[in-house]
């Protein structure tokens, strides 16, 4: 596998207009990329999440572009630090992801790339709802330690191949993922349990395994089947 430092890629700091607001993001596109993965972080996180940044770097090694962006503005983050209500507004987060996807479809550097979503925690629900809304362009969804159950109404209508990754020690979230998995009607779906991992995949080797599973899924559906 190539070292990240040896990968030729375009790295851009972007500001994505969503109505009257701007969302900050980091866009990385390896030369020759055919797909891009949009990261949808969970509650209380941001584009600087070290776990999502690690997974993004691993995906870039596999020739996939990545977009990490902030779902909330700086002002909204300040409010949310006190109230914690925006991070659980799944419809707001999903609508922002839909708009960011529209931006990708018009952006010169990304408009020809196959799109996938990588959601963590509550971001997984937003990813599944947006995948339903953008069923014609979203080719794959991966959830890591996610709450897909919060996308209950959208689950039967998700068309994108969906992989749910859960820590083997994250017992309550395993049950939530199994519940959601049973309500997904798309044929290409899998649930993978990473042994010894808790909710944040902080145990040695567990995040690496999650990144590997995600990379294989995205390569299959964004590159090989495109």
Q: What are 70-103's pLDDT values in tens digits?
A: 988 888 888 877 777 776 789 999 999 999 999 9
Report how far residue 132's alpha carbon sits from residue 153's, in angstroms, rounded to the nearest whole number. 10
Query: So what's the pLDDT on residue 85?
Result: 72
Supply the DSSP string of 64-77, one letter for each residue.
Answer: -EEEEE-SS-HHHH
Mean pLDDT of the chain: 92
Q: Residue 147 — pLDDT band, cuts 50, 70, 90?
A: very high
> Model's pTM, two decimal places?
0.93
Q: Which sequence spans correspond to the domains of the chain?
A: 4-224
Range 188-217 average pLDDT? 97
Report how far residue 193's alpha carbon sits from residue 169's, in angstroms, rounded to the nearest whole number. 9
Report how far residue 79's alpha carbon sits from residue 89's, in angstroms, rounded to the nearest whole number. 13
Query: So what's the pLDDT on residue 105?
Result: 98
Q: What are 35-63's pLDDT values in tens digits?
A: 999 999 876 667 878 889 999 999 999 99
Instruction: Please report, for residues 52, 81, 107, 135, the alpha-carbon distance to residue 164 in angstroms, rounded to integers and kept in the order given.
Output: 16, 28, 29, 18
Instruction: Evaluate whether 44 touches 23 at the Cβ level (below 8 Å).
Output: no
Describe the chain by its helix, strand, coil percentages, rounded to 5.
40, 25, 30
Kindly tell me if the per-residue pLDDT of 184 is higher than 70. Answer: yes
Query: So what's the pLDDT on residue 43?
Result: 62
Kindly tell me if the per-residue pLDDT of 110 is higher than 80. Answer: yes
3.40.50.1820, 3.40.50.880, 3.40.640.10, 3.40.190.10: CATH of 4-224: 3.40.50.1820
Longest dimension (CA), the chain: 45
* Tokens matching residue 179: 């519940």
Q: What are phi and psi of 147, to 5 degrees?
A: -115, 65
Range 12-41 average pLDDT? 95
Q: What are phi and psi of 49, to 5 degrees?
A: -50, 120
């Amino acid at each position: 596998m190539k070292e990240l430092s040896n990968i030729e890629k375009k790295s851009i700091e972007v500001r994505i207009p969503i109505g009257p607001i701007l969302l900050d993001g980091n866009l990385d596109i390896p030369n020759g990329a055919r797909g891009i993965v949009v990261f949808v972080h969970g509650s209380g996180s941001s584009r600087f999440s070290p776990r999502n940044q690690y997974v993004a770097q691993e995906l870039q090694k596999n020739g996939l572009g990545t977009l990490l962006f902030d779902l909330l503005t700086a002002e909204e983050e300040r409010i949310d630090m006190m109230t914690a209500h925006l991070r659980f507004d799944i419809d707001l987060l999903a609508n922002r992801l839909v708009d960011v996807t529209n931006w990708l479809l018009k952006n010169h550097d990304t408009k020809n790339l196959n799109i996938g979503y990588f959601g963590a925690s509550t971001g997984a629900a937003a990813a599944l709802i947006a995948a339903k809304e953008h069923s014609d362009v979203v080719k794959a969804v991966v959830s890591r330690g996610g709450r897909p159950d919060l996308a209950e109404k959208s689950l039967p209508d998700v068309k994108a191949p969906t992989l749910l990754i859960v820590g083997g020690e994250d017992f309550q979230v395993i049950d939530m993922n199994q519940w959601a998995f049973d309500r997904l009607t798309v044929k290409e779906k899998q649930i993978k349990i990473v042994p010894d991992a808790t909710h944040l995949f902080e145990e040695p080797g567990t995040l690496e395994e999650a990144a590997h599973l995600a990379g294989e899924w995205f390569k299959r559906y964004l590159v090989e089947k495109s």
